[in-house]
Amino acid sequence: MSTITEVALQSSHPPIIPLSFNGNQSETVRLYPLSNYTFGVKETQPEEDPSVIARLKRLEEHYSQYGMRRTCEGILVCHEHNHPHILMLQIANAFFKLPGDYLRPEDDEIEGFKARLDERLAPVGRIGEGEERGDWQVGDCLAQWWRPNFETFMYPFIPAHVTRPKECKKLYLIQLPKSKVLSVPKNMKLLAVPLFELYDNTQRYGPQLSAIPHLLSRYNFEFVDDNGKVVAVTPGTGAPDGYVPSTKVLAGDDTEMNEGIKEENGAA
């Protein structure tokens, strides 16, 4: 931080430094570079339901037997050239979702959520070889979305006339460690999506995912380079000249990491 400030003060037009503006600030989040992580693929995980109608029917059956469905999804954040990127799944080149899923009726919330993250992203063969199950740092709950009826619409509030919502989905911040191995099912893609791509982009990503930049705006970030040094903070230095953040395919669907920039035709 001091180095960044010193560089700024050496400018021919030094900035005017205001009083501290960090009252009641959430804890600063440290982000590690995308290059720190290893990505692979594992066996296909077919969707449980062949259609939206079938999915809503299964939700209705779940509700009649167990009550409101509990769903947890994770916002996994890293950075590339000091710009935050969200790790996100794309299924059948058609829609995007965060890692996670509904909890089993008997599951504890956090432990059940960790188990669902393992199912989606834990590499086969690594569990039991120096890595433990549920090795996820589940942070703050950033949002709750409610499904008032057996329909596709979810809301960030419970409508006034609804007393028995059918599903509650929580979005949790997952703080990634310095390095980690992640594997995605063959029928899915793991993407790194920059915040600017999500912001105000409901047409492509839908209201839940496009709201992520708003949810993360509460945090200040520290950006760590490949050598483990903090090289930028929020606010702080920007990306290198000429760099434009873009979505990257990391793994899945017969792709290799760093294959390049790809645009997919998808719906939210």
Q: 71 near 102, Cβ under 8 Å?
A: yes
Q: Is residue 75 part of a domain?
A: yes
Q: Classify residue 121: in a domain, yes or no.
A: yes
Amino acid at 151: E
Integer Cα distance of 71 and 12 in angstroms: 53
Give the pLDDT confidence score for residue 237 in this predicted structure.
63
- Comparing CA positions, the residue from 170, 168, 110 lying closest to residue 136 is 110
Containing domain of residue 165, as a range?
25-251
* pLDDT for the residue numbered 10: 59
Q: Is residue 15 part of a domain?
A: no
The tally of domains found in the chain comes to 1
Q: Is residue 145 part of a domain?
A: yes
Element (H, E) at 171: strand 167-174
What pLDDT is attached to residue 92? 80
The answer to whether position 2 is within a domain reads no
Residue 127 lies in a domain: yes
Residue 95 belongs to a domain with what CATH number?
Answer: 3.90.79.10
Report the alpha-carbon distance of residue 170 to residue 66 in Å, rounded: 18
143 exposed, middle or buried (CB, 10 Å; 0-12, 13-18, 19+)?
middle
pLDDT at 11: 65
Q: Nearest 5°: CA angle at 211, between 249 and 137?
A: 65
Residue 47 confidence (pLDDT): 84
**Structural domain contains residue 114:** yes
pLDDT confidence of residue 243:
72
Q: Average pLDDT for consecutive 10-residue bins of the chain (268 residues)?
A: 49 80 90 95 89 94 97 97 95 90 96 96 72 87 98 96 97 95 93 96 96 97 93 76 80 53 35
Predicted TM-score (pTM) of the model is 0.86
Residue 138 lies in a domain: yes
